[in-house]
Every structure is written in structure tokens, then in C-alpha cells.
Amino acid sequence: MRYTIADSILPSVDIWLEPGESVYTESGGMAWMKGDVRMSTNTRGGLLQGLSRTLAGESLFMTTYTCQSGTSMVTFTPEAPGRVLAFDLQAGQSLICQKDAFMVAQDGVQLDIHVRRRLGAGLFGGEGFILQRVTGPGVVFLEIAGDVREYCLEPGEVMRVDPGHIAVYEPSVDYDITTVKGVANVLFGGEGLFLATLKGPGKVWLQSMPLANLAAKLKQYMPTKG
């Protein structure tokens, strides 16, 4: 399998498949395609697996695209302006992603829910208790609203982040929630009462524009009922 990402504010990814190669995505995730491609839609893993995916922001049904002959191309586009990230995961290698980040993946990639075990991280982490976990082997594409910055944390190194800006992180990174110190900071700092702490070792990917922030900004300009 080979692919090309048209990297812009409204990106797309072209995936080229040879006979027998396949990728899967949530229902409605495909934009266009050409060639001899077979589509197969099911709950992928059974009804319980499908229902668990809905908790992490994905659809109950998933669609698999398989090349039947020749060379086929299937194109996927994200749901909001931002970036498409590609990760070539080894067998057993995982990433923890925000809800609804999964875009498309090779057939060998496993998509599961990830439940935050710490009460504080779940209640005040900005994304709730449920995240996504993708596990190799295979290439997976994630869609992240806004631009993305990548950081590699050394063992014991800590970053404090507005929780909504956390897009992806490696399982080795320790995620927790701390309170903002100082009454003035809480009341007038604009960051709320809680910040996320990300402690290394491991890589983290942070987004510049969480989708919730964009929606809140656009809401200011929406007409209201008189």
C-alpha cells in the first residue's frame, strides 16, 4: 500500500491499493475512488465492538475497501479543517488518540476504546473518560483539527497543557489533571480551573485549534431566535 497526503488547511489522503490490499474507515468516511474496489460494511468485530466504538466517537458500522484487480485509489477527507497524520505502527505498538480522531487504517490495525483510569483525568480532562486506542501492525491515518505540534518528552519531563489541545500521545506518557494555582489565575486567566500534565517518557502531539473551541467561536456569529 502507498499513499499521498495533500497537506493543506483542507487535506485529503489518496491511498493506492494493489490486489488483495484493503483499508477500513467509519461509515461515510470515503470521499471518492477509482478502480476495481469492493466495499464491505459491517460492525467489524461484532455488535458489542461496534457499540464500544460509538462511545469513542466513531460509527457503529465500518466499511472496508478491498482492491480486486489492477491498481485502485481510494481518497479520504477529514470532517474539519486541520491535519492528517499517518503512523506506521509495528505489531503491538499503540497510540492513544482523542475521540473521533480515527480516519482510516490498513486492515491489520485494531481500533479500540481507551478508558481513563484516573477520576480527575476523566472528569476534568476536556474529552471525558473515553478516548481511542489504535494498535498495529499497519498504517493508520488520524484527523486532527487545526495544526499539530509534536514533542518528545524525556523521562520525568512534564508539560502542562490545556486539556482540549491534547490530540495524540504514546501509552508510555503519564496523563493527569492538576488544578490551576492562584485565585486570580483561576478567575481571570482564561484557562479554567484545571490543566493537564503530560509526563514523559514518550511523544505527544498537540493541536492548535480544538474542534470544541472552533465551534464555540462560530456560535458567537450564529443568528439567535428573536
pLDDT tens, residue by residue, 62-114:
899 999 999 999 999 998 889 999 999 999 999 999 988 999 999 999 998 88
**Assigned C-alpha cell, 31:** 470521499
Residue 218 banded pLDDT, cuts 50, 70, 90: confident
| pTM for this entry | 0.84
How do residues 171-207 score in pLDDT, each as one tens digit?
Answer: 999 988 876 654 444 444 444 467 889 999 999 999 9
Give me the residues paired with residue 26 across strands. Answer: 62
* Domains of the chain (ranges, CATH numbers): 2-219 (3.60.160.10)
Who's near 180: CB < 8 A, 6+ residues apart? 186, 189, 191, 192, 193, 194, 195
